Amino acid sequence: MATPNHTVRFVLDEEIVTVRNIEPTTTLLQYLRQSLGRTGTKEGCAEGDCGACTVVVGELDGDRIDYQAVNACIRFLPTLDGKEVVTVESLAEGEALHPVQQAMVDKHGSQCGFCTPGFVMSLLDVYLKHEQITAAAITEHLSGNLCRCTGYRPIIDAGRGLAAYPDPPRWHRAEPHNPARIQRLRSIRPRRGGAKRRVLCPDLTGCARHNLCG
Ligand code: FES
Ligand code: FES
């Protein structure tokens, strides 16, 4: 775990972000919204229950990158050292929406819109992991996202229809094997030999969703 005197480096939109002298309790959500002005990631409950703050975090796993949806409101920034962060602002290429965004539009999966960036990022997690997206996979990946407007059906329909969209220019299914992304992460890989990180999951379960346990 970094202390206020240590440096945290992570990748965001193909750039390496270097953060110095950060308080260990600064959350990824606070840093994205307040320091980087990335307000597309929303704060709802601020305690890991609603999914409004969902982003995707990538971590080297051998010669691939493992991408996971995480709740940015309970993810401390120092735990991102050596990792990649993907936010809702990372997806569109100019005016062209990513399939997970376009499908939400086409299926009317957004009403007030507050939950939408979180759902979009959970759908990206599903999209990157599954060639054939089943209803069960969608239900599982969206289980941490709450919506009080839509009744969920159009959002699930958006997920089920993802296979019909052409591959996007970025954040397509081959990204976990993208050599440039892998090389970038290797270049900021934290050195071994430090004290072993130990951060307890808020639910004390070590679940993949919170992804805090080290
Ligand atoms: S703001 Fe609700 S889970 Fe993060
Ligand atoms: S669209 Fe309003 S909370 Fe989901």
Residue 4 pLDDT: 54
Residue 171 pLDDT: 97
- Residues touching ligand 1 (Cβ under 6 Å) are 43-46, 48-53, 71, 73
- How are beta strands 64-71 and 7-12 bridged, if at all? unpaired
Sequence-ordered strand ranges (E) for 21-103: 54-61, 64-71, 83-86
Alpha-carbon Rg for the chain in angstroms: 17
Residues 139 and 73 in one domain: no
CATH number at residue 149: 1.10.150.120
Residues 84 and 110 in one domain: no
d(CA 200, CA 202): 6
Domain membership of residue 126 as a residue range: 99-164
pLDDT per position as a tens digit, 14-44: 999 999 999 999 999 999 999 999 999 999 9
- How are beta strands 54-61 and 83-86 bridged, if at all? antiparallel
Residues 178 and 83 in one domain: yes
Closest ligand 1 atom to Cα of 72: 4
Ligand 2 atom 4: residue of nearest CA: 147
Measured from the CB, is residue 96 less than 6 Å from ligand 2? no
Cα 116 off chain centre by: 13
d(CA 17, CA 157): 36
Across the range 156-173, mean pLDDT stands at 95
The answer to whether residue 197 is domain-embedded is no
3-state DSSP call for residue 189? coil
Confidence grade of residue 6 (pLDDT, cut at 50, 70, 90): confident
- Single-letter amino acid code for the residue at 108: H
CATH number at residue 52: 3.10.20.30
Ligand 2 atom 3: residue of nearest CA: 147
- Cα(118) to ligand 1 centroid in Å equals 9
- Cα(121) to ligand 2 centroid in Å equals 15
Measured from the CB, is residue 111 less than 6 Å from ligand 2? yes
Residues 85 and 128 in one domain: no
Residues 87 and 22 in one domain: yes
- Cα(155) to ligand 2 centroid in Å equals 10
Residues 59 and 114 in one domain: no
Residues 135 and 30 in one domain: no
Q: Is the pLDDT of residue 200 over 90?
A: no
Ligand 2 pocket test: which of 54, 108, 149 has the largest number of ligand atoms within 8 Å of its C-beta?
Answer: 149
Count Cβ atoms below 10 Å from residue 48 Cβ, excluding itself.
Answer: 20
Contact between 20 and 14 (Cβ < 8 Å): no
CA geometry: angle 93, 99, 104, nearest 5 deg = 115
Closest ligand 2 atom to Cα of 110: 1
Buried b (16+ CB within 10 A) or exposed e, 61-85: eeeebebbbbbbbbbbbbbbbbbbb
Q: Is the pLDDT of residue 86 over 80?
A: yes
Confidence grade of residue 205 (pLDDT, cut at 50, 70, 90): very low
CA geometry: angle 104, 98, 100, nearest 5 deg = 35
Confidence grade of residue 204 (pLDDT, cut at 50, 70, 90): very low
Across the range 110-133, mean pLDDT stands at 96
Percent of the chain with pLDDT over 70: 87
Across the range 107-119, mean pLDDT stands at 98
Residues 131 and 149 in one domain: yes
The answer to whether residue 24 is domain-embedded is yes
- Cα(115) to ligand 2 centroid in Å equals 5
Closest ligand 1 atom to Cα of 51: 3
Residue 169 pLDDT: 93
Percent of the chain with pLDDT over 90: 83
- Number of domains comprising the chain: 2
Count Cβ atoms below 10 Å from residue 127 Cβ, excluding itself.
Answer: 27
3-state DSSP call for residue 180? helix
Residues 125 and 144 in one domain: yes
